[in-house]
Amino acid sequence: MSETNPYMMVGERLCMDFINTVSWRESTEKRRDWFTSYTKLVDWSLHAEVLTIQQAQDLLSEAEENPSKAEDVLKQAIELREVMYRMFKNISMKTPPNEQDLGRFNQSVSHYYQLLQVTKDEDQFTLRFKQTEKNLDPMLPPILQSAVDLLISKKELERVKQCEGDPCGWLFFDTSRNKSRRWCSMADCGNRAKVRRFYQKGK
Q: Shortest distance, CB of residue 41 to Zn ion, whole angstroms? A: 22
Q: Can you tell me the distance from the alpha carbon of 73 to that of 93, in angstroms, rounded to the nearest whole number? A: 30
Contact string 134-173 vs Zn ion (x = CB under 5 A): -----------------------------x-x--x-x---
Q: Are 160 and 150 in contact (CB under 8 A)?
A: yes
Task: Please give the size of the binding site for Zn ion, defined by CB under 5 A.
Answer: 6
Q: Shortest distance, CB of residue 181 to Zn ion, whole angstroms? A: 11
**Residue 189 sits in the site that holds Zn ion (CB under 5 A):** yes
Q: Are 98 and 77 in contact (CB under 8 A)?
A: no
SS3 content of the chain, % helix, strand, coil (to 5): 50, 10, 40
Q: Are 14 and 48 in contact (CB under 8 A)?
A: yes
Q: Are 85 and 171 in contact (CB under 8 A)?
A: yes
Site for Zn ion in 92-121 (CB under 5 A): none
Q: Shortest distance, CB of residue 9 to Zn ion, whole angstroms? A: 13
Span of 33-41, 110-118, 126-134, 187-195 interacting with Zn ion by CB under 5 A: 187-195
Q: Shortest distance, CB of residue 105 to Zn ion, whole angstroms? A: 24
Residue closer to Zn ion, measured from CB, 38 or 170: 170
Q: Shortest distance, CB of residue 170 to Zn ion, whole angstroms? A: 5
**Residue 11 sits in the site that holds Zn ion (CB under 5 A):** no
Residue closer to Zn ion, measured from CB, 87 or 163: 163
Which residues 6+ apart lie within 8 Å of 94 measured at CB? none
Q: Exposed, middle or buried: residue 167 (CB in 10 Å: 0-12, 13-18, 19+)?
A: middle
Counting every residue written for the chain, the total comes to 203
Q: What is the DSSP string of 21-32?
A: -EETTT-TTT-E
Residue closer to Zn ion, measured from CB, 12 or 58: 12
**Residue 10 sits in the site that holds Zn ion (CB under 5 A):** no
Binding site for Zn ion (CB under 5 A): 163, 165, 168, 170, 184, 189
